[in-house]
Amino acid sequence: MSAVKEIWCNLRDLPDNVLASVRRRGKATSDRARSQAIFANLFLHIHPTRTHLNTLRPSYTLGLGLASTFLFIILAATGIALMVYYKPSVTEAYNSIKDIHYVVPSGRFVRNIHRWSAHLMVLTVIGHMARVFYTSAYKKPREWNWVVGIGLLFCTFALSFTGYLLPWDQLAYWAMTIGANLTMASRELTDALGITSVFDPGGFFRSILIGSATLGEDALLRFYFLHCVLLPLLITVLIAVHFWRIRKDGGLSRLEEPEAGSPPSMHRGQPVFPRDPHKTYGLMALVRGTSPNVNRGPEHTVSSWPHLLYAELAVCAVCMLIVVALGIWVDAPLKEIANPAIPENPAKAPWYFLGLQELVSYSAFAGGMMIPAIVLLGLALIPYLDRENTSVGIWFDGPKGRSVVLASVVFSVCSIAVVLGCTVRFGWLRAWFPSIPQLVVTVVNPGTLYVVMFALWSLWTVKRYNSTRAGALALFTCFLVGFALLTYFATYHRGPNWNFYWWPSMWPTH
């Protein structure tokens, strides 16, 4: 063949040859080839080569873990693009954001996507935690992965929060002032005890976070470093540990019957899978040897290529669709440039901290430190306090699971409505007894009252059903409802000076 003809043939076969050199194998037509397509690929080999059918049920995971991961990737990609134009200095930050928004081609779109992905990620992570809890997926052997998840929850809040200051507009400045003041929550206690001059952890934490007495250059640089370097790195490492643990814990949770070989049965409308009697596959789930199981995958599994990948693609496509639609139609807010002399009234924290801000309005120490610490510790300890042998992998399982959840929703809604109504109508201790010691208000306020009421309700549930799972269901549900209701209340019913209004349109105009 002449050299010219050979070049022509090579050009004709170019696409096939390029694909073959990337794949290093032909088309995956057998189970073995499909397995190899997964584990021989740098990006895909975090997946198992075979996936259990239960993992692919959309009604089980709701795709929320993957959605959180994908939103984090979108945040990283758009964040890097924004870093090209953003300038982390008090004199330039606001104008650089304005440039991104109004001048840089596609800058507004990228900024919008970054902002809405951040809010969505907070939502999906909370939703994912709730799915893991309500399907008992935190139980043995996944206890430690639940704790890693709590670390991820904390870092997700911190990532979103530290990004809030960067535009350096009025909204950011005053929301961050509230956030920075939260670090000083312990001053309420040390002041009440009269020991602030010798022991002041609040002042110490505040100076570490913002570097000076007020928000300024030091604070902006610290938040920039936390937001763009430290927290993304930490989340990446934690996600790697999280995924590694999922594989080591035997894949996603599912309900398996102890007897092998029986056909799938149903439990409360959800499938129960029999154990696989033929564990002839190794770590890579490749079927080997000369036994009758050659070329047969483990029971109730399908090859991840392409089934799992299609499912993942669908979740990512839905996320992409939502953030792109939001990015096109809803602009990320940008107010006037930050002015430390003109406070926003009301100055409100980002929405996911508004519940906390409501609690802080009763007592800085209780709302800003004590209750968040109790909640975080309580969440992390759930798998170690509830070690009851309930069915893993079934929604709301546990003695009278669904009824306990429903009763807990009613209980928490009623108790929060009564206490909030009471504080709005009659005020709290300080209004009744103006000279009451602050220490009493710190210990007895609506926030601590909620904690005590929810704890008592949970203990009563444990006793009534003789089940720690029932108690955990009650407590977790009260926590979720409390978070949602307080966030709603602080968003729509708190106006200037943190006074109660039926609706934001009733706020006085200045």
Judging by DSSP bridges, how do beta strands 50-52 and 265-267 pair with one another? unpaired
Distance CA 142, CA 436 (A): 48
Task: Examine residue 149 and tell whether it contacts ligand HEM (CB under 6 A).
Answer: yes
Q: Give helix then strand counts, H and E, for the chain.
A: 22, 5
- 310 close to 47: Cβ distance less than 8 angstroms: no
User: Which one of the spans 32-40, 65-73, 451-459, 479-487 is the region binding ligand HEM (CB under 6 A)?
Assistant: 65-73
Q: According to CB under 6 A, which residues from 88 to 117 bind ligand HEM?
A: none
Q: Binding ligand HEM by CB under 6 A: which of 37, 64, 359, 480?
A: 64
Q: Binding ligand HEM by CB under 6 A: which of 82, 125, 453, 490?
A: 125
Q: In the bound complex, which residue of the shown chain has the CB atom lying closest to ligand HEM?
A: 149
Spatial CA neighbour of 213 closest among 242, 168, 181: 181
**Least gap, CB of 334 to ligand HEM (angstroms):** 27
439 burial level (CB within 10 Å; 0-12, 13-18, 19+)? middle
Q: Binding ligand HEM by CB under 6 A: which of 184, 252, 326, 472?
A: 252
- Which residue's entry shows tokens 């037509």? 29
**Least gap, CB of 190 to ligand HEM (angstroms):** 32
Task: Examine residue 253 and tell whether it contacts ligand HEM (CB under 6 A).
Answer: yes
Query: What DSSP element (H or E) covers 65?
Result: helix 64-83
80 burial level (CB within 10 Å; 0-12, 13-18, 19+)? exposed
Task: Examine residue 152 and tell whether it contacts ligand HEM (CB under 6 A).
Answer: yes
Q: In sequence order, which ranges of 249-353 are alpha helices (DSSP H)?
A: 304-329
Q: Choose between 145 and 181: whose C-beta lies nearer to ligand HEM.
A: 145
Q: Choose between 156 and 304: whose C-beta lies nearer to ligand HEM.
A: 156
**Least gap, CB of 65 to ligand HEM (angstroms):** 3
Name the β-bridge partners of 265.
272
Tokens of 363: 């007592």
Task: Examine residue 246 and tell whether it contacts ligand HEM (CB under 6 A).
Answer: yes
- Could you tell me how many residues of this chain bind ligand HEM (CB under 6 A)? 26
Q: According to CB under 6 A, which residues from 226 to 245 bind ligand HEM?
A: 239, 242
Single-letter code of the amino acid located at 467:
S
**Least gap, CB of 409 to ligand HEM (angstroms):** 20
**Least gap, CB of 177 to ligand HEM (angstroms):** 27
Q: Choose between 154 and 498: whose C-beta lies nearer to ligand HEM.
A: 154
Task: Examine residue 66 and tell whether it contacts ligand HEM (CB under 6 A).
Answer: yes
User: Which one of the spans 29-37, 211-219, 246-254, 445-453 is the region binding ligand HEM (CB under 6 A)?
Assistant: 246-254
Q: Choose between 79 and 202: whose C-beta lies nearer to ligand HEM.
A: 79
Strand arrangement, sheet containing 265-267: 256-260, 270-275, 265-267
Single-letter code of the amino acid located at 66:
L
Query: What DSSP element (H or E) covers 115?
Result: helix 107-134
- 372 close to 450: Cβ distance less than 8 angstroms: no
* 337: phi then psi, degrees, rounded to nearest 5: -60, 145
**Least gap, CB of 163 to ligand HEM (angstroms):** 15
Name the β-bridge partners of 169.
337
Distance CA 335, CA 24 (A): 54
User: Which one of the spans 66-74, 221-229, 452-460, 471-479 is the region binding ligand HEM (CB under 6 A)?
Assistant: 66-74
Distance CA 84, CA 80 (A): 7
**Least gap, CB of 415 to ligand HEM (angstroms):** 25
Neighbouring residues of 317: CB distance < 8 A, sequence distance ≥ 6: none
Task: Examine residue 304 and tell whether it contacts ligand HEM (CB under 6 A).
Answer: no
Task: Examine residue 118 and tell whether it contacts ligand HEM (CB under 6 A).
Answer: no
Q: Choose between 125 and 366: whose C-beta lies nearer to ligand HEM.
A: 125
User: Which one of the spans 12-20, 22-30, 149-157, 475-483 is the region binding ligand HEM (CB under 6 A)?
Assistant: 149-157
Tokens of 231: 């927290």
Task: Examine residue 156 and tell whether it contacts ligand HEM (CB under 6 A).
Answer: yes
DSSP 8-class letter at 273: E
Q: Choose between 376 and 436: whose C-beta lies nearer to ligand HEM.
A: 376
Name the β-bridge partners of 266.
271
User: Which one of the spans 38-46, 141-149, 359-367, 456-464 is the region binding ligand HEM (CB under 6 A)?
Assistant: 141-149
Distance CA 114, CA 28 (A): 37
Q: Binding ligand HEM by CB under 6 A: which of 94, 116, 134, 138?
A: 138
> Interface with ligand HEM by CB under 6 A: which residues?
61, 64-66, 68-69, 72, 125, 128-129, 132, 137-138, 142, 145-146, 149-150, 152-153, 156, 239, 242, 246, 252-253
